[in-house]
């Protein structure tokens, strides 16, 4: 925001309050209400306004307060924002970042701990990323804001308070690159966001039992950098993928049976 006065933050309670998770704390004070906008409770309006701002040359960053409340904006994201670059033959950039706290592990109720990433990764025209470390969070949000493409930036809410070293040198990896978070020889564990920490913990436990696990952090869900995954699986011969998102609705159907 200091480097580019076209960057505008928009969202519910992100101003003086600093957001539900205090991620935008003090930015309203530092940059003022014209650049850190407290919006009405209308996610469709937030994203729709951001599209108009992008057309006007701004770089809006939208915060969706909780993952389960992104769906009122789903039409704006998937049928408008995702399609406009193609519709206008790439002549107009749409540098809109949509920040979504997502995932579980915080003891919240249904609309406050969902993992809707699959909806967006299956939508052409939208890039989807999710950091797993403080260092990646620091650099990836800056790269996302600088991008001229729409990006859904998924923030694992259970890791908001995770501490870690941040390098203030140039980022080690491009925005859409996967990385090997831990080397191993017996099995490849793949995940993204909060699950990377869980997989690293699992790898430590497995090592005590004689199994060497290699952990690959996707970082980007769309596009996916497959090379580190394929290289790892060629070496280990086995792969396990772990995620928080639901795999099916079978549990819901079963729960209704007598």
Q: Which long-range contacts (CB under 8 A, 24 or more apart) does 48-54 make?
A: 48/73, 48/76, 48/80, 49/10, 50/10, 50/81, 50/96, 50/98, 51/76, 51/80, 51/81, 51/84, 51/94, 51/96, 53/8, 54/93, 54/94, 54/95, 54/96
Tell the burial category of 50 from Cβ atoms under 10 Å away from its Cβ (0-12, 13-18, 19+).
Answer: buried
d(CA 160, CA 93): 30
Q: How confident is the model at residue 244 (pLDDT cuts 50, 70, 90)?
A: confident
Does pLDDT of 253 surpass 60?
A: no
> What angle (nearest 5°) sits at the alpha carbon of residue 179, between those of residues 176 and 180?
165
Q: How confident is the model at residue 29 (pLDDT cuts 50, 70, 90)?
A: very high
Q: What is the residue whose two structure tokens read 């998770």?
A: 21
Q: Which domains does the chain have, with CATH numbers?
A: 7-159 (3.40.50.970), 179-241 (3.40.50.920)
Does pLDDT of 113 surpass 90?
A: no
Does pLDDT of 123 surpass 50?
A: yes
Cα distances from 4 to residues 46, 105, 169, in angstroms, run 21, 35, 19
Please give the pLDDT value at position 186.
Answer: 98
Percent of the chain at pLDDT exceeding 70:
95
d(CA 156, CA 130): 7
Q: What is the mean pLDDT of the chain?
A: 92
Known catalytic residues are 112
HSE-up (13 A, CA, CB side) for residue 255:
4
- Per residue in 139-186, pLDDT (tens digit) is 999 999 999 999 999 999 988 988 999 998 888 899 999 999 999 999
Please give the pLDDT value at position 107.
Answer: 72
- Per residue in 184-209, pLDDT (tens digit) is 999 999 999 999 999 999 999 999 99
Q: How confident is the model at residue 249 (pLDDT cuts 50, 70, 90)?
A: low
Does pLDDT of 55 surpass 50?
A: yes
Nearest to 103 by CA among 137, 132, 67, 72: 67
Does pLDDT of 78 surpass 80?
A: yes
**DSSP letter at 66?**
S
């Amino acid at each position: 925001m200091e480097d580019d006065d076209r960057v505008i933050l928009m969202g519910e309670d992100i101003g003086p309050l600093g957001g539900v998770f205090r991620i935008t704390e003090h930015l309203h004070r530092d940059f003022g209400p014209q650049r850190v906008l407290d919006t009405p409770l209308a996610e469709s309006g937030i994203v729709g306004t951001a599209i108009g701002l992008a057309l006007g040359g701004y770089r809006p960053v939208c915060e969706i307060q909780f993952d389960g409340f992104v769906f009122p904006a789903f039409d704006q994201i998937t049928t408008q924002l995702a399609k406009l670059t193609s519709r206008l033959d790439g002549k107009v950039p749409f540098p809109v970042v949509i920040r979504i706290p997502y995932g579980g592990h915080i003891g919240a109720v249904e609309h406050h701990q969902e993992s809707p990433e699959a909806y967006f990764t299956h939508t052409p025209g939208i890039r989807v990323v999710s950091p797993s470390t403080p260092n990646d969070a620091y650099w990836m949000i800056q790269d996302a804001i600088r991008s001229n493409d729409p990006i859904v930036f998924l923030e694992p809410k259970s890791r908001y308070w995770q501490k870690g070293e941040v390098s203030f040198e140039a980022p080690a990896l491009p925005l859409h690159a996967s990385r090997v978070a831990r080397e191993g020889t017996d099995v490849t564990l793949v995940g993204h966001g909060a699950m990377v920490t869980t997989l690293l913990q699992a790898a430590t436990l497995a090592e005590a039992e004689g199994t060497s696990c290699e952990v690959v952090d996707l970082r980007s869900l769309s596009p996916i950098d497959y090379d580190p995954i394929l290289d790892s699986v060629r070496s280990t011969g086995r792969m396990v993928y772990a995620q928080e998102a639901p795999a099916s609705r079978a549990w819901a159907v079963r729960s209704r049976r007598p």
